[in-house]
Amino acid sequence: MRVRDVMTTPVVAVTPAATIGEAIAVLTGKGITSLPVVGGDGELLGLLAEEDLLRARYLPDGDPDSGVMLNGHTRVSALMRRPVAGAHPDADLGELAEKMLERRLRSVPVLEHDRVIGVITWQDLLRAGSW
């Protein structure tokens, strides 16, 4: 089975200029765990996950010189992960599942020509299983 067979579409994403408050509203409103951060042409720039937000809120590094003042108006670009690995739509689903589990990645953007065309999540993997 291939990634394209089970990926989630359409993609719910944000831009780097979105605020943390806006991103949280999307995550909680849509019931998803992460958001690809994309540029104007849909190219992948980063990823913002629930874990990133929770770490920033509850496990701050305590560095007053970090330059990042976190609040609902902070831009997504301040917390997004980069670089972010993506998966090709024709990649083997089993191989991707193994990598996701090893690296504890709850979701991976699916890229075609550097543009986000879908997302693979743990829930997608569960649905794809032949139980």
3-128 CATH choice from 3.40.250.10, 3.40.50.2000, 3.40.50.300, 3.10.580.10: 3.10.580.10
Mean pLDDT across the stretch 9-22?
Answer: 95
Whether pLDDT at 108 is above 70: yes
pLDDT at 54: 87
Q: Is residue 15 within 8 Å of residue 76, measured between CB atoms?
A: yes
Give the model's confidence band at 130: pLDDT under 50 very low, under 70 low, under 90 confident, else very high.
low
Lowest mean per-residue pLDDT among 5-14, 22-31, 58-67, 71-80: 58-67
Q: How many CB atoms lie within 10 A of CB 104?
A: 8
Going by C-alpha positions, the residue among 101, 97, 74, 78 that lies closest to residue 2 is 97
Amino acid in the structure at residue 54? L
Give pTM, 2 decimals.
Answer: 0.87
Domains of the chain, by residue range, sit at 3-128
Tens of pLDDT, residues 58-95: 776 655 555 455 777 889 999 999 988 899 999 999 99
pLDDT at 68: 55
Q: How many CB atoms lie within 10 A of CB 75?
A: 16
To which residue do tokens 């996701």 refer? Answer: 100
**Whole-number average pLDDT of the chain:** 89
Separation between Cα atoms, residue 78 and residue 126, nearest integer Å: 32
Separation between Cα atoms, residue 28 and residue 102, nearest integer Å: 26
Mean pLDDT across the stretch 25-54?
Answer: 94
pLDDT at 131: 61
pLDDT at 6: 96
